[in-house]
Structure 1
Amino acid sequence: VNNESFWGNKKYALTLGIKKAVNDHLVFIDADCVPNSNEWLSSMAMHLSEQKSIVLGYGGYQKIKNSLINALIRFETGITAIQYFSYAMRGNPYMGVGRNLAYTATQFYSSSGFMSHMKIMGGDDDLFVNEAATKTNTAVSLDEKSFTVSQPKTSWSTWWKQKKRHINTASHYKSKHKLLLGLFYFSQIGFLVSAILALLFGMNWILVLSVVLLRYLFFWIVVGKGLFRFRESDIIILLPFLEILLIGTQLALYVSNMVHRPKQWN
């Protein structure tokens, strides 16, 4: 690998660890994470088999009371997990998180490790899964005993920097995944814009309000069920507010990345 930046990066450390590993089954967790139970390792590893070489797990964040940034972080993490778990269960896996991920060394070698995205900052988890995962080789672990918990960012500035890197990494997903995820985001922002325009152009406010309430009723049911499963039930009551806040920050992050892209390896 003729890239000096690679040698001091997490991808290099992971590559060394995988090459030194004696066993084929590998389970990964970040340094700032703790397992949700003493059965975490067995709960993740049990899904690996001759057919399944990648296992996606849930990596949540520690709860901090009376913190808006913490509620937003956990909401964004939960809704992202709902997406990548449901996509994988429907045979279209597109990402995983390094906070809780398992795959085989055989799969790592057959995918040439991190070579295809070596120069991209980050992506040791989601870009690897995006490239290597298929509808037949990927399993998901939804057992609470297999969850992990991480230390969240506690300031808007540090979270902002983290999300700028994540968005930059996501721009390297396969085209079909970028299209589907983009459509989901535009459906969210499109609904809000349409409701506002309907009111501005004099449409019956009762009709507009009824459509908005119906939409958020379904949103509460679907997303709330997922968050409850991920043990994030305390933020369910805030879902409409958190969704609007997340849409606004994602739009601002997208514009910010277009103006000032995070540094990548040269």
Structure 2
Amino acid sequence: MLTLLTTIYIGGTLILLSVIASLASPFLRKLTINTEEDDLSGEQKQPLPGISIIIPAHKGAAFLEENLPYFLQQQYTSPFQVVVVAEKGDTDTEDVLKRLGASDKLYATFLPMSSRYMSRRKLAITVGVKAAKYEWCLLTEASCRPDSDFWLASMATAMHEDKAIAMGYTHFPDDKVTDYQHFQHFSKARQMFRSIQRGHSYGCNCANLAFRKTVFMEGNGFLGNLHLIRGEYDFIVNKFSTEDNSSLAISPTCWLTDMDVSPKTWTNNRLFYRESKKYMRGSFRYKFPIFMDNLLLHFCFLANIASIIYASIINNWILLGASITALFILFIWRTLACSSALAKFSTHISPFKLFFFQLRSVWTNCRYAIKHHFADKYEFTSHKL
């Protein structure tokens, strides 16, 4: 049996741990979002830059036909072009480009049939950057569409003279993904946005990324990771960002909706990321806070559950009450913090799910880590010989 003093000490410690674990929530860490949007339909305070939108269209004819008009009809007061990079011989994509080719803003270029030891996607992006007429290149996917006719103008407001990278946000249709997938994508995006605001950019999981052509070309593009099939957004941010040359464009008019959310695409993106991060700098600084958050959350949760079970067995009602109170604090505080962060990005998930999603995420990552470990490593590289 526990003495009264020991019971009070254990109960107080559990409550204190719950408060600390709640305050450690990544959703409580400040993320500045510019909600005071300019009147983008009116006269701008300063001229907006010319922009080349680059869309690699590998086997994406259906998406391209559906989404390309949304890019071509952008309300933008400065010059812009849409550069579509397709595979030579892809007749479906060629037909789409012919049907939409009347626009003087559309420029199409094609990849050669063979390229050894180099990712086709990275080659497509490099070709697109070389073909770009303007200094600022905005990379996205054929499966994405702007949420607003002022998407380009909104993104341009983050392309300052002293910046070389501007990261935007993508989300998914509610009827295409589960609540947990929404949570996964948002959590990772928010962590990467935070890393940019703190001056140590790590990566990018959103197909909505602007960068300067000269920075990309003078920095030899994807040199150093050409052998990896994917990871292009992560590598651009990780390689070319510095402490103060990156900015965020995450107000609602800057968003894109990504329509390609098939189970295969979702899984492959996460497996390719696990391979890519081996070659990315700043991994410890980025991952350590995430590790500590998960450690505190799980330790506190398990300690509270264990204490509730133990107190019930020995009929210690004071300890039982303190343990339930501690668990309640942890659940409510973590849920409210997460719900508030999601609401700012117009993502609405039942609050009762959010606490368990936070617990589940670390085990999901472990599952992907195991799957990646046993995967054929040649699946991640263009070096097949």
| TM-score bucket (shorter structure) | 0.7 to 0.9
Q: Secondary structure of 2:137's match? A: strand
The answer (yes or no) to whether the contact 2:141–2:207 under 8 Å persists in 1 is yes
Q: 1:151 to 1:261 in 2, by over 3 A?
A: same
Paired amino acid for 2:230: G
Query: How far did residue 86 of structure 1 move?
Result: 1.6
The answer (yes or no) to whether the contact 1:57–1:97 under 8 Å persists in 2 is no
Query: How far did residue 244 of structure 1 move?
Result: 2.7
Residue in 2 aligned with 1:168? Answer: 275
Distance 1:101 1:171 in 2: 22
Residue in 1 aligned with 2:302? Answer: 196
Distance 2:237 2:188 in 1: 15
Residue in 1 aligned with 2:80? Answer: none
Paired amino acid for 2:382: W
Distance 2:265 2:129 in 1: 30
Residue in 2 aligned with 1:221? Answer: 336
Where do 1:54-203 residues align within 5 Å? 54-64=165-175, 70-97=178-205, 99-155=207-263, 158-174=265-281, 176-185=282-291, 187-189=293-295, 191-196=297-302, 199-200=305-306, 202=310
Query: How far did residue 152 of structure 1 move?
Result: 4.7
Residue in 1 aligned with 2:375? Answer: 260
Residue in 2 aligned with 1:210? Answer: 325
Paired amino acid for 1:223: C
Distance 2:141 2:345 in 1: 19
Query: How far did residue 182 of structure 1 move?
Result: 4.4
Q: 1:180 to 1:46 in 2, by over 3 A?
A: closer
Q: 1:132 to 1:215 in 2, by over 3 A?
A: farther
Paired amino acid for 2:151: W
Where do 1:237-256 residues align within 5 Å? 237-256=352-371
Distance 1:236 1:216 in 2: 10
Deviations 1:32-70 (A, max 9, x none): 011110111111122112201100111111111xx8x52
The answer (yes or no) to whether the contact 1:60–1:150 under 8 Å persists in 2 is yes
Q: Secondary structure of 1:26's match? A: strand
Query: How far did residue 158 of structure 1 move?
Result: 5.0
Residue in 2 aligned with 1:24? Answer: 135
Q: Secondary structure of 1:117's match? A: coil
Paired amino acid for 1:147: W
Query: How far did residue 171 of structure 1 move?
Result: 3.0
Distance 2:362 2:217 in 1: 38
Q: Secondary structure of 1:171's match? A: helix
Deviations 1:108-136 (A, max 9, x none): 12322111211123121112201111221
Query: How far did residue 218 of structure 1 move?
Result: 3.2
TM-score, normalised by the number of residues in structure 1? 0.86
Which 10-residue stretch deviates more, 33-42 or 226-235?
226-235
Deviations 1:217-248 (A, max 9, x none): 33233332221121102354421122233222
The answer (yes or no) to whether the contact 2:158–2:249 under 8 Å persists in 1 is yes
Distance 1:187 1:234 in 2: 21
Query: How far did residue 193 of structure 1 move?
Result: 4.5
Q: 1:150 to 1:19 in 2, by over 3 A?
A: same
Q: 1:218 to 1:171 in 2, by over 3 A?
A: farther
Q: Secondary structure of 2:211's match? A: strand
Percent identity of paired positions between Structure 1 and Structure 2: 18
1:53 to 164, 169, 182: 164
Deviations 1:80-116 (A, max 9, x none): 1211112211222111245111011012123221112
The answer (yes or no) to whether the contact 1:27–1:41 under 8 Å persists in 2 is no
Q: 1:42 to 1:57 in 2, by over 3 A?
A: same
Residue in 1 aligned with 2:147? Answer: 36
Distance 1:185 1:121 in 2: 28
The answer (yes or no) to whether the contact 1:52–1:138 under 8 Å persists in 2 is yes
Query: How far did residue 186 of structure 1 move?
Result: 5.1
Structure scoring higher RCO (CA < 8 A, sep ≥ 6) equals 1
Paired amino acid for 2:290: F
Q: Secondary structure of 2:217's match? A: helix
Paired amino acid for 2:167: L
Distance 1:45 1:236 in 2: 35
Distance 1:199 1:120 in 2: 44
Distance 1:17 1:81 in 2: 25
Structure holding more helix per residue: 1
The answer (yes or no) to whether the contact 1:164–1:257 under 8 Å persists in 2 is yes
Q: Which runs of 5+ in 1 are unaligned?
A: none
Q: 1:28 to 1:205 in 2, by over 3 A?
A: farther
Which 10-residue stretch deviates more, 158-167 or 71-80?
158-167
Distance 1:33 1:12 in 2: 20
Paired amino acid for 1:173: M
